[in-house]
Amino acid sequence: MVVIDDLDPGRRGGRSGGRPDPADLAQLERSPVRWSRVAALFGPHRWQLALVVALIVASSTIALATPFLVRLVIDEALPRQDVPLLAWAVAGMVAVTAVTAVLGVLQTWLSTTVGQHVMHGLRTAVFTHLQRQSLGFFTRTRGGEVQSRLMNDVGGMQSVVTSTATSAASNTTTVIGTAVAMAALSWRLSLLSLVVLPPAIALTRKVARMRQAITAQRQRHLADLHSQVEEGLSVSGVLLGKTLGAGPAQSQRFAGTSDELVGLEVRSQLAGRWRMATMSIVFAGIPALIYLAAGLPATSGGMTIGTLVAFTALQGTLFRPLMGLLDIGVSLTSSMALFSRVFEYLDLPVDIGDPAHPVRLDPATVRGEVRFSAVGFRYPDGHRPALDDVDLTVPAGATLALVGETGSGKSTLASLVARLNDPTTGRVTIDGVDVRDVTLADLARVVGVVSLETYLLHGTIRENLRHARPDATVAEMVDAARRAQVHDLIAALPAGYDTVVGARGHRFSGGEKQRLAIARTLLRDPRVLVLDEATSALDNETERAVQAALDEASRGRTTITIAHRLSTVRDADRIAVLHAGTVVEQGTHEALVERDGRYARLVGAAERDAVLAV
C-alpha cells in the first residue's frame, strides 16, 4: 500500500518540484560553503555514518526480494500446491518486511543521533560566538534575526541535512536495485516503463509545483496573521494600541488578513486534493498499462503471471525514489544555504575580544583610577565622531558626573570603560592599564554598569540577583537588596525573593527595576561603577529611594555617573560638560558656576525645572 502523502519528496525540506528557494541561492552566492568544512563537522561521526549507509543499502537490497518471492508463490507454489514451498516463501515475505523495518529503525536512530550531535555542537558554537560579539553588533543587526538564525537555521539543519543525506542514499540504492531487478524480470516491460514513467513524473511534479505556490502564499498570510496576533495581543502591543487609539484599526487589519486567508485555505485544500487525485490516477494507470502490454502478444514476450505481478510491484516502488532523486538538487541547495548562514555567523570576527597577552588587573587590589587619554570614537554608521579628543581623569574613589545635552556623547564615553565599545583613537586606562589589555572577565569584575535600560531576566528575583554573582549567599543578597532600598519591597511580595519577574520586568516599575539593577551591581562589588541614570522623571519618593541606592552604590568606588538630577551632579567631586563629543568644561560645581559658562546656564535652567541637561 502506498501512502500518497509520503510521495512528496521535498516534504521535509519544505520545497518540491525542482526549484530552489531564490533566497537560498542568494545566500550561497553571497557566502559559498566549502564541502570540506561540512565534512569536518561530520568527521567525528564517520563510522556511524558509514554504518547508516550500510544499513540503507542492506535494507533496500533486502526489500527487493519480495517481488521475487511473490513470483515464486504465483508461478510455482500455488499451481503445484507445494505447501512447504509456499510456507517458506510466505515466511520469507514476512521476514523481509520485519528485517527492513528493524534496519529502518536502527538507521533512523543512528542518523538522528549524529544529526542532533552535530547540531548541538553548532548551536553551542554559534551561541558562544555571538555572545562574544560587541554591543555594536546587536544594535546593527535587525531584532530577531540573531535568534532566528540560531533556532531555525541550526534547528532546521538536523531534519534537512539528515533527511537529504539519508534519502539520497536510500533513493539511489532503491532506484539502481529496482531497475536491475526489473530488467532481470522482463526487459520488454522495462523498456515500456522507460516510456511511461517520465510523463507521469512530469505531470505529478507540475501539480506539486502549483500546490507549492499556493501553500507558500498561504504560509505568508499565516505569518502575517501570526505577527498581527503577536503585535496586537502582547503587553507592549496592547499598550501601544491603547495609547495610540489604534485598537480598531488593528482589529480591522486582522479581519482583512483573516478574510484573505479563507480563500487561500480553500484553494490550498483543493490543490492538495488535486495532487492526490493525480497521484491516484498515475498509480492506477501505470500498472493498468503494464497489464495491457503484458496481454498483447507483441509486447508480452511470453511472461508468466508471477513475473507480471512481481514486475508491477517493483514498478510501483520505483516512483517515489525517482521523484526524490529529481529533487535532490533542491534539498542540497537548501541544506547548503543553512550551513552558509550558520558559518557566516561563526566566521564573524569578534571586534571586542580578549587580548592575546592579557595584563592582570586584580579585582581585589585595583585602586580604580580611570583615565581617558585623547579618546575619539565614531560609530560605524556615524556621520560625525561621537567623541573627539576627550581627556579626563577620575582619581580612585572619586565621582565624575558627565553632563551635557542629549546626544552629546555621555553614554558613549561611559560605554568605553566597560569596553561595550572600544575607542577609535586614544585609550582608556584603569590604574594605568589599557582596558583593551585586560581580559574581559577581569574587566567585568572591576567595572560595574547600571544602565537606564534595566534588563531583568525572566526568572525569580533570586535568580536575577544570582545572575550577577552565582555564589552569593542569601545574607549577601538581602544585604545588597537592603542597601539598594529594594529589600522591603521584595519582602512585601507574597513570594518574596521567589517572585517571578514578568517578561522584561513589566511587573516592576521603572524605579523598582533600577533598584533591582543596583542591588545586582552591589552584589558584584566592582571598584569602578558606571551609572547611566534614567532621564525619565520618577516620583519624589521613588526618586529619593533610587538616589539613596545610588549614593550607597557609589560609596568608596570610582564612579562615573551620567546624572540628570542637579542634586547628584552638585555632590560629584568633578563635573565634565560634554558638547558634541568634546569636553567643553570641567571642574567642581562651585568652580563651574563661578565660570558662568555652559554649565552655569544648564544649572540655571535646572533650578527652574529640577532636572538637568534635558
Ligand X SMILES: Nc1ncnc2c1ncn2[C@@H]1O[C@H](COP(=O)(O)OP(=O)(O)OP(=O)(O)O)[C@@H](O)[C@H]1O
Q: Which residues bind ligand X (CB under 6 A)?
A: 139, 379, 381-382, 386, 404, 406-412
The option from Mg ion, ligand X, none interacting with 317 (CB < 5 to 8 A, set by class) reads none
Residue 587: its H or E element: strand 582-587
Contact 345, 224 (CB under 8 A): no
User: What sign does the dihedral 311-316-317-323 (CA atoms) show?
Assistant: positive
Smallest gap from residue 399 Cβ to Mg ion (A): 18
Is 250 an interacting residue with respect to Mg ion (CB under 5 A)? no
CB nearer ligand X, residue 387 or residue 546? 387
The rounded distance, in Å, linking the Cα atoms of 371 and 396 is 10
The option from Mg ion, ligand X, none interacting with 124 (CB < 5 to 8 A, set by class) reads none
Relative orientation angle of helices 83-131 and 328-346, to the nearest 10 degrees:
30
Report the Cα 239 to chain-centroid distance in Å. 27
The option from ligand X, Mg ion, none interacting with 386 (CB < 5 to 8 A, set by class) reads ligand X
CB nearer Mg ion, residue 340 or residue 411? 411
Smallest gap from residue 425 Cβ to ligand X (A): 16
Smallest gap from residue 613 Cβ to ligand X (A): 7
Q: Write the single-letter amino acid at 381.
A: D
The rounded distance, in Å, linking the Cα atoms of 315 and 179 is 9
Task: Please provide the DSSP assignment of 517-538 as one string.
Answer: HHHHHHHH--SEEEEE---SPP
Contact 69, 89 (CB under 8 A): yes
98 CB-near residues (< 8 Å, 6+ apart):
none
If you compute the radius of gyration of the chain from its CA atoms, what whole number of angstroms results?
Answer: 35
Strand order in the sheet with 574-579: 447-450, 528-532, 558-562, 399-403, 574-579, 582-587
The rounded distance, in Å, linking the Cα atoms of 422 and 378 is 10
CB nearer ligand X, residue 322 or residue 418? 418
Smallest gap from residue 411 Cβ to Mg ion (A): 3
Instruction: Please count the helices (runs of H) and the strands (runs of E) in the chain.
Output: 25, 10
Q: Write the single-letter amino acid at 245.
A: G
| Piece of 96-104, 411-419, 511-519, 564-572 that binds Mg ion (CB under 5 A) | 411-419
Residue 583: its H or E element: strand 582-587
Smallest gap from residue 603 Cβ to ligand X (A): 17
The rounded distance, in Å, linking the Cα atoms of 564 and 547 is 12
Residue 500: its H or E element: none
**Contact letters for Mg ion, residues 367-406 (x by CB under 5 A):** ----------------------------------------
The option from Mg ion, ligand X, none interacting with 520 (CB < 5 to 8 A, set by class) reads none
Contact 460, 475 (CB under 8 A): no
The option from ligand X, Mg ion, none interacting with 139 (CB < 5 to 8 A, set by class) reads ligand X
Report the Cα 156 to chain-centroid distance in Å. 10
The option from ligand X, Mg ion, none interacting with 234 (CB < 5 to 8 A, set by class) reads none
CB nearer ligand X, residue 135 or residue 493? 135
Smallest gap from residue 505 Cβ to ligand X (A): 20
- The secondary structure of residue 423, as a DSSP letter, is -
- The secondary structure of residue 611, as a DSSP letter, is B
Smallest gap from residue 404 Cβ to Mg ion (A): 10
The rounded distance, in Å, linking the Cα atoms of 400 and 420 is 19
The option from ligand X, Mg ion, none interacting with 60 (CB < 5 to 8 A, set by class) reads none
Smallest gap from residue 562 Cβ to Mg ion (A): 6
CB nearer ligand X, residue 414 or residue 484? 414
CB nearer Mg ion, residue 114 or residue 386? 386
CB nearer ligand X, residue 408 or residue 561? 408
Q: How many CB atoms lie within 10 A of CB 420?
A: 18
How are the residues of the chain apportioned to helix, strand and coil, as percentages rounded to the nearest 5?
65, 10, 25
Question: Phi/psi class of residue 377: alpha, beta or left (left: φ > 0; alpha: ψ in -120 to 50)?
Answer: beta
CB nearer ligand X, residue 407 or residue 459? 407
The option from Mg ion, ligand X, none interacting with 258 (CB < 5 to 8 A, set by class) reads none
CB nearer Mg ion, residue 408 or residue 464? 408
Is 411 an interacting residue with respect to Mg ion (CB under 5 A)? yes
Smallest gap from residue 530 Cβ to ligand X (A): 12
Smallest gap from residue 389 Cβ to ligand X (A): 15
CB nearer Mg ion, residue 386 or residue 435? 386
Smallest gap from residue 268 Cβ to ligand X (A): 43
The option from ligand X, Mg ion, none interacting with 97 (CB < 5 to 8 A, set by class) reads none
CB nearer ligand X, residue 110 or residue 403? 403
- The secondary structure of residue 540, as a DSSP letter, is H
Number of residues that bind Mg ion (CB under 5 A): 1
Report the Cα 246 to chain-centroid distance in Å. 31
Q: Which of residues 483-502 bind Mg ion (CB under 5 A)?
A: none
Smallest gap from residue 381 Cβ to ligand X (A): 5
CB nearer ligand X, residue 158 or residue 408? 408
CB nearer ligand X, residue 221 or residue 378? 378
The option from Mg ion, ligand X, none interacting with 31 (CB < 5 to 8 A, set by class) reads none
Smallest gap from residue 384 Cβ to Mg ion (A): 17
The rounded distance, in Å, linking the Cα atoms of 35 and 15 is 22
Q: Which residues bind Mg ion (CB under 5 A)?
A: 411
